[in-house]
Structure 1
Amino acid sequence: MRDDALTKRDFQRLSHFRYQLRVFLRQSEDICRDHGLTPLQYQLLLHLLGFEGREWASIGELAERLQAKHHGTVALVNRCEQLGLVERRPSRGDRRRIEVHLLARGAELARRIAELHQPELRHLQEEFHLPGWPDLP
């Protein structure tokens, strides 16, 4: 057996982590659907609300955050735009660039859904003793 081979304990830890992550994601999916959004729509709104340093993001930046293809992100933005959650605006600095901005309805939904995630996030923080994570209220 190799010195760097995974142990039973390693597999148990990984299994437990994946289970806890799936529990969180399943609860998140249910919360989103209860509010009339798909999980991806919520994630898009969340990334716009939480984008560092500004109140908008490009399609490419959103695709990176979502770990999605560019064309899939365009389709997601289209659906969110049709629901009145976001809008596209040409960039003031570079007319070739399109900015995706969160509208009031989208921001309110994202805030409401994010608030409902807080108990499970606190649980995960305690469960995994996550240093470097900001303390949650």
Structure 2
Amino acid sequence: MHAARFTVAYWCVLLAVLMPIVCAMLAKKGSFRMASDNHDPRRWLAAQTGWRARANAAQANSYEVLPFFIGAVIIAHQLGAAQTPLDMLAMAFVLLRILYVAMYVGDLPMARSLIWAAGFAVNLGIFFLGYR
């Protein structure tokens, strides 16, 4: 009987899933009032400007990239991709996403776009890693 194990790549999926929540917390940090703003948090977020608005946009983008990343990791596992390269690419993707959020919140659009493109390329690498 084969025992399944939780790989580093799967832990990276969990980190990527948590990233939008961290972005939302960042956008709300210090200004969001649970008693009043939580009645309509989307309206509150829509009214934000500056770094708070960019943190909210980073949250949305973090949700947008999740399906491809999760799918790529699962497909690579199912195709029998070598585990070490898969784990390394998954960690690179998470690191790039952290940098992406930092560039977004820090209002560095060119760096943000380059990091997004690098993350997409890494995701393609994960997707095709098990291809034979």
- Structure-1-length-normalised TM-score: 0.33
Greater share of strand: 1
Structure showing greater relative contact order (alpha-carbon pairs closer than 8 Å, 6 or more residues apart)? 2
